[in-house]
A and B are shown apart, each in its own frame.
Chain A
Amino acid sequence: QSVLTQPPSVSGAPGQRVTISCTGSSSNIGAGYDVHWYQQLPGTAPKLLIYGNSNRPSGVPDRFSGSKSGTSASLAITGLQAEDEADYYCQSYDSSLSALYYVFGTGTKVTVL
């Protein structure tokens, strides 16, 4: 099972702000590893949304923002739009098994009401 925990779902009306948490531990986010976020639209491959905790790749709207503190990270979407309805995953390293392994969060479905 995943070592990064996300809420299964969040929802909001168009224009509202929603946040998604990614809760880890001292062997992953708390160890100082970077967190990245991916957006997965229905039926498509994941797309890099936020890298290095808080940076947006070219082309990603600035209504998406990321942050990290302690053993958790967060993704915020401000000015929610219909096209933001998707699944979102956080990603980091975990070192609990005496090697560095990639780990994903459990995933969060964002619904635009």
Chain B
Amino acid sequence: QVQLVQSGAEVKKPGASVKVSCKVSGYTLTELSMHWVRQAPGKGLEWMGGFDPEDGETIYAQKFQGRVTMTEDTSTDTAYMELSSLRSEDTAVYYCATPRLGWNYEPQPWDYWGQGTLVTVSS
């Protein structure tokens, strides 16, 4: 059973950067394909990017390209999502999510989700 535990809430000023972590237990990070999704207050889910095991690369949603970086520390089984040049519209709950091993669907469904990290951007 995979567990994803995210870092705590953050308050940032416009123009700053934020780095959210997602600690994996139950599996090693190298066995998983981690994705990041955000949800603005009262709004829907928005995919930001994630690891594509077919290409072995991280792909980013066009909207966030140039502003988001997703990295992994395999020594601690922790995934990170860093978003820069923050603006008020980036205020949202950020989730990490991943499919379990062995799915044979396109796309793979995401069984496991972190608890979410609230990022508030305010001057």
Residues of chain A within 8 A (CB-CB) of B95 are 45-46
Known: A57-B111, A99-B59. A33 touches B44 (CB 8 A): no
State whether B107 touches A102 (Cβ < 8 A). Answer: yes
The answer, among A2, A36, A93, for a CB contact under 8 Å with B44, is A2
Interface-side segment among B9-17, B70-78, B84-92, B112-120: B112-120
Total number of A-B contacts with CB less than 8 angstroms? 68
State whether A89 touches B107 (Cβ < 8 A). Answer: no
State whether B61 touches A89 (Cβ < 8 A). Answer: no
Known: A34-B105, A102-B107. A45 touches B116 (CB 8 A): yes
State whether A89 touches B115 (Cβ < 8 A). Answer: no
Query: Chain A interface (Cβ within 8 Å of chain B)?
Result: 2, 33-34, 36, 38, 40, 45-48, 51-52, 57, 87, 89, 91-93, 97, 99-107
10 A–B contact pairs at CB < 8 A?
A: A36-B109, A47-B113, A48-B111, A51-B109, A91-B110, A93-B107, A102-B35, A104-B44, A104-B47, A107-B45
